[in-house]
């Protein structure tokens, strides 16, 4: 600034101030730097928490998917049909154990057929022994097949898969052994046509397949047919149309705000952004009725919490109804009045730190329509409907920063949020996957989205609608 500039005219005043303040800086106070440091640290902590929450959600979803997939595989494996004959043959040892006649406990007069190369994979030798032995001894079988003393036989399993079990009897072992042949034998008998060699014989053997079959001294054990559900409409209903389910869902909630057009003095922009780490939950039970095989109606009772974290904000003391100084914290959910000391000057400010948050608790009653897209052991469905949300509790936890406080800050909790409606109408939709673990019981998982038709605020210059993403886990029981 020089003398010429100071000797200003009417409009030259602008230039005086421009030049005078050009390149001028003001050093912030120490308290500003400490608050800045607090803000940066909080930001960093929030980022870490957010990253953790994200990974927790991913880990949870992966776990649910893994459990669901494993359950599905195990369940379908248990109920699948017996493997075809040729598949079963593969389960048998590729090189059957060739026993000598004494080893097999055979008498010399009984012709022991040898094994044809092509039939080795049928485990033929074992069966041949049985077929040709008029009274096979269990002890022989156990010894030569290296079976444990107590075994159970599953006709779908190979010798190696036979496991120890108390429910053993000889007939099961024998049935297992002759099963590949008995089935073919039955088929061939029905055909009564030219009998193809069932079991290969070498040129030196006097025993043909036909003769072996005809000499079979054992009762042919009929193959058990596993229960196989029919597809779609052919499926035979074994349960009632009524069902109940219990669910728990973590929620990632938030608020969608818009200006209330009737109030032009205040913009929702004035509120600033809400925080992002808003984790809540919903838990409860549902009951449903299947109108058709595809469509169901369901309702229920849930408890739901919606959390909203508050970003740092400066509050100014304002005159309350009685003229006393109060700090009014205006949030997306409503207004919280924080009492100030009577001596606090109007206009004095304090900061709400970033670990402040608000929580709303609702009783939620949904009315939903469910549509089943795939109805097998694994059921895939969608659902949508309206919800009635009753507010049963609200709380605001604030962390106030003021140099006048003894420790520089204090935490307070408030149960009243002015302007929140007691009830609002919302909606809900999502997809679901359930897997039957028994005839009546299934486990389910449901990613869903819920929102509000109506604002949760009343008499407010802005409208706020709650929304949330959820991933429910639960169980469903068909009566």
Partner 1 sequence: METLQEEIKGSLAGNAMAQRMLYRRLAGKMLLVCMRYMKNKTEAEDVLQEGFMLVFQKLDQYNGSGSFEGWIRKIMVNKSLEHLRKSVYLYPMKDLSGINDYAISTEDVFGNIASKDLLRMIQELPPAYRTIFNLYVFEGLKHKEIAEMLGISEGTSKSNLSDARKLLKKRIQPVTKQSLVVNG
The binding site for partner 1 (CB under 8 A) comprises 1-3, 6-8, 10-11, 13-14, 16-18, 20-21, 24-29, 31-32, 35-37, 39-41, 43-44, 47, 270, 272-273, 311-314, 316, 318, 346-347, 349, 351
Q: Which is nearer to partner 1, 136 or 312 (CB)?
A: 312
Q: Which is nearer to partner 1, 219 or 273 (CB)?
A: 273
Q: Which is nearer to partner 1, 28 or 60 (CB)?
A: 28
Q: How far apart are the first and last CA of the chain?
A: 90
Q: Residues with Cβ < 8 Å from 150, sequence gap 6 or more?
A: 164, 165, 166, 168
**Least separation in angstroms between CB 20 and partner 1:** 4
**Least separation in angstroms between CB 161 and partner 1:** 55
Which value, to the nearest 10 degrees, does the dihedral of the CA atoms of residues 179, 183, 184, 185 take? 90
> How many other C-beta atoms lie within 10 A of the C-beta of residue 128?
29
CA dist., res. 468 & res. 426, Å (int): 11
Q: Which is nearer to partner 1, 31 or 239 (CB)?
A: 31
- DSSP character string of 11-38: STHHHHHHHHHTT---PPPHHHHHHHHH
> Quick check: helix, strand or coil at residue 459?
coil
CA dist., res. 386 & res. 383, Å (int): 11
CA 127 to chain centre: 48
CA dist., res. 58 & res. 62, Å (int): 6
Is residue 246 within 8 Å of residue 285, measured between CB atoms? yes
**Least separation in angstroms between CB 424 and partner 1:** 28
The label of the residue with tokens 């068909």 reads 478
CA dist., res. 248 & res. 230, Å (int): 32
**Least separation in angstroms between CB 452 and partner 1:** 25
CA dist., res. 15 & res. 11, Å (int): 8
**Least separation in angstroms between CB 314 and partner 1:** 4
**Least separation in angstroms between CB 340 and partner 1:** 14
- DSSP character string of 31-93: HHHHHHHHHHHHHHHHHHHHHHHHHHHHHHHHHHHHHHHHHHHHHHHHHSPPPPHHHHHHHS-
Q: Which is nearer to partner 1, 12 or 229 (CB)?
A: 12
CA dist., res. 434 & res. 444, Å (int): 4
Q: Which is nearer to partner 1, 31 or 222 (CB)?
A: 31
Q: Which is nearer to partner 1, 309 or 389 (CB)?
A: 309
**Least separation in angstroms between CB 24 and partner 1:** 4
The label of the residue with tokens 């030569």 reads 144
Q: Which is nearer to partner 1, 269 or 293 (CB)?
A: 269
CA dist., res. 154 & res. 131, Å (int): 19
**Least separation in angstroms between CB 80 and partner 1:** 51
CA dist., res. 467 & res. 465, Å (int): 6
Q: Which is nearer to partner 1, 13 or 59 (CB)?
A: 13
Q: Which is nearer to partner 1, 272 or 408 (CB)?
A: 272
Q: Which is nearer to partner 1, 142 or 335 (CB)?
A: 335
**Least separation in angstroms between CB 270 and partner 1:** 6
**Least separation in angstroms between CB 403 and partner 1:** 10
**Least separation in angstroms between CB 25 and partner 1:** 3
Q: What is the largest CA-CA distance in the chain?
A: 139
Backbone φ and ψ of 62, nearest 5°: -65, -40
């Amino acid at each position: 600034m020089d003398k010429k500039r100071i000797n200003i005219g009417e409009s030259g005043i602008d230039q005086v101030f421009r030049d005078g303040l050009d390149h001028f800086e003001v050093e912030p106070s120490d308290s500003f730097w400490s608050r800045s440091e607090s803000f940066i640290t909080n930001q960093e902590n929030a980022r870490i928490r957010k990253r953790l929450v994200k990974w927790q959600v991913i880990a949870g979803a992966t776990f649910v998917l893994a459990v669901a997939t494993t359950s599905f595989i195990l369940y379908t494996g248990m109920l699948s049909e017996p493997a075809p004959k040729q598949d079963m043959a593969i389960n048998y040892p590729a090189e059957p154990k060739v026993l000598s006649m004494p080893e097999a406990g055979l008498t010399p007069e009984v012709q022991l057929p040898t094994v044809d190369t092509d039939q080795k994979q049928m485990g033929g030798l074992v069966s041949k022994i049985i077929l040709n032995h008029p009274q096979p001894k269990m002890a022989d079988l156990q010894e030569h097949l290296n079976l444990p003393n107590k075994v159970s036989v599953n006709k779908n399993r190979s010798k190696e898969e036979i496991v120890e079990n108390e429910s053993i009897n000889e007939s099961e072992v024998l049935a297992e052994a002759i099963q590949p042949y008995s089935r073919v034998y039955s088929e061939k008998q029905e055909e009564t046509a030219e009998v193809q060699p069932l079991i290969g014989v070498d040129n030196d053997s006097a025993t043909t397949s036909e003769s072996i079959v005809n000499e079979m001294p054992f009762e042919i054990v009929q193959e058990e047919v596993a229960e196989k559900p029919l597809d779609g409409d052919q499926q035979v209903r074994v349960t009632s149309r009524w069902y109940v389910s219990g669910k728990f869902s973590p929620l990632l909630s938030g608020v969608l705000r818009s200006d209330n057009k009737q109030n032009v003095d205040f913009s929702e922009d004035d509120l600033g952004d809400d925080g992002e780490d808003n984790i809540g939950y919903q838990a409860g039970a549902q009951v449903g009725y299947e109108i058709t095989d595809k469509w169901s109606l369901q309702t229920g009772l849930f408890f739901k919490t919606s959390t909203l974290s508050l970003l740092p904000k400066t509050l100014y003391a304002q005159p309350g109804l009685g003229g006393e100084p109060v700090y009014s914290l205006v949030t997306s959910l409503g207004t919280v009045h924080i009492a100030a000391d009577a001596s606090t000057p109007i206009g004095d400010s304090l900061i709400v730190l970033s670990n402040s948050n608000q929580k709303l608790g609702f009783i939620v009653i949904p009315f939903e329509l469910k549509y089943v897209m795939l109805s097998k052991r694994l059921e895939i469905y969608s659902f949508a409907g309206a919800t009635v949300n009753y507010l049963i509790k609200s709380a605001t936890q604030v962390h106030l920063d003021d140099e006048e406080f003894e420790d520089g800050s204090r935490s307070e909790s408030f149960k009243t949020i002015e302007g929140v409606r007691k009830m609002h109408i919302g909606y809900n939709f999502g997809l679901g996957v359930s897997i039957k673990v028994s005839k009546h019981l299934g486990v389910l998982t449901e990613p869903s989205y819920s929102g509000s038709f109506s604002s949760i605020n009343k008499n407010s210059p802005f409208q706020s609608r709650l929304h949330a993403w959820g991933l429910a886990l639960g169980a469903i029981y068909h009566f």
